[in-house]
């Protein structure tokens, strides 16, 4: 897999920004701490724990999702690069600070001759990666304790959320591209990802 300097910088900045956004969203006290400007609390263990938890779950889920798109695109002979959307990254952090979350950090853009099937497989690679990650985090949640167990629990929920959301057949989301290629493949992927996400959230909920 080949990367340019700008692409590596975009990936790193998007990963950090999403880590901050998810930490703020799932840990409401962080917003009060920031507003109060309490330096001691900002440097405390719980704040770093929330940020680390977010980076290791939402951050990794996003990063590997985008790298899966890039890898498959390059396998099909495409020129593919991730580009961060800095306006949307700012919106992600600002919305999380306000108490809701809207995250569209950027995308992998690819060009070159390609079939509808190949384009569908490139799109499908992202949500499938999140489903595989959810299985890996589930094993961590079952067998690890303490902070690693918490990482596993949140990793399951967040990766299922990412898979289910990206399989929606609207706008620039992956689901629309998959649906335009194959109704059957879309239906299977959508039911598995969205169904698993709904089941997990209704059964266990999620929160830091």
Q: Is 173 helix (H, G, I), strand (E, B) or coil?
A: coil
Tell me what pLDDT residue 134 has.
93
User: For residues 49 and 69, what is the distance between their CA atoms, to the nearest angstrom?
Assistant: 30
pLDDT of residue 187: 95
First to last CA, the chain: 34
Q: Which residues are catalytic?
A: 66
Tell me whether strands 79-84 and 106-111 are parallel, antiparallel or unpaired. Answer: antiparallel
3-state helix, strand, coil in the chain (%, to 5): 75, 5, 20
Query: Within the chain, which residues score under 50 in pLDDT?
Result: 207-208
Residue 99 falls in which region: left (phi positive, over 0), alpha (psi -120 to 50) or beta: left
Domain ranges of the chain: 5-204
Q: At what angle do helices 116-143 and 183-204 cross, to 10 degrees?
A: 20
φ, ψ (nearest 5 deg) of residue 109: -105, 135
Between CA 174 and CA 125 the distance in angstroms is 9
List pLDDT tens digits, range 75-132: 999 999 999 999 999 998 888 887 777 778 899 999 888 999 999 999 999 999 999 9
Q: Give me the pLDDT at residue 5, please.
A: 87
Cβ-Cβ contacts under 8 Å for 91 (sequence gap 6 or more) = 102, 104
What was the pLDDT predicted at 45? Answer: 58
For residue 112, report the phi and psi dihedrals to the nearest 5 degrees: 135, 170
Q: Output DSSP code: residue 55.
A: I
Q: List the structure tokens of 103.
A: 């995250």
CB-based contact 43:30 (threshold 8 Å): no
Q: Which residue has the tokens 């593919």?
A: 80
Secondary structure element (H or E) that encloses residue 26, with its range: helix 5-26
Q: Which pLDDT value is given to residue 31?
A: 61
What pLDDT sits at residue 24?
Answer: 81
Beta strand segments in the chain, E = 79-84, 106-111
């Amino acid at each position: 897999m080949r990367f340019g300097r700008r692409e590596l910088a975009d990936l790193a900045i998007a990963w950090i920004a999403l880590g901050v956004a998810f930490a703020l969203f799932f840990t409401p006290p962080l917003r009060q701490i920031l507003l109060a400007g309490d330096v001691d609390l900002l440097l405390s263990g719980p704040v770093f724990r929330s940020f680390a938890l977010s980076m290791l779950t939402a951050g990794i889920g996003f990063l590997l999702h985008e790298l899966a798109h890039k890898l498959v695109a390059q396998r099909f002979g495409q020129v593919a690069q991730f580009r961060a959307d800095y306006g949307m990254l700012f919106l992600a952090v600002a919305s999380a600070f306000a108490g809701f979350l809207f995250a569209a950090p950027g995308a992998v853009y690819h060009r070159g001759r390609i079939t509808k099937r190949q384009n569908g497989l490139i799109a499908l690679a992202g949500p499938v990666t999140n489903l595989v990650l959810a299985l890996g985090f589930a094993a961590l949640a079952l067998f690890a304790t303490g902070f690693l167990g918490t990482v596993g629990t949140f990793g399951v929920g967040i990766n299922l959320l990412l898979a289910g959301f990206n399989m929606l057949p609207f706008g620039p989301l992956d689901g629309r591209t998959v649906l335009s290629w194959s109704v059957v493949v879309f239906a299977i992927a959508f039911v598995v990802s969205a169904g698993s996400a709904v089941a997990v959230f209704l059964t266990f909920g999620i929160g830091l």
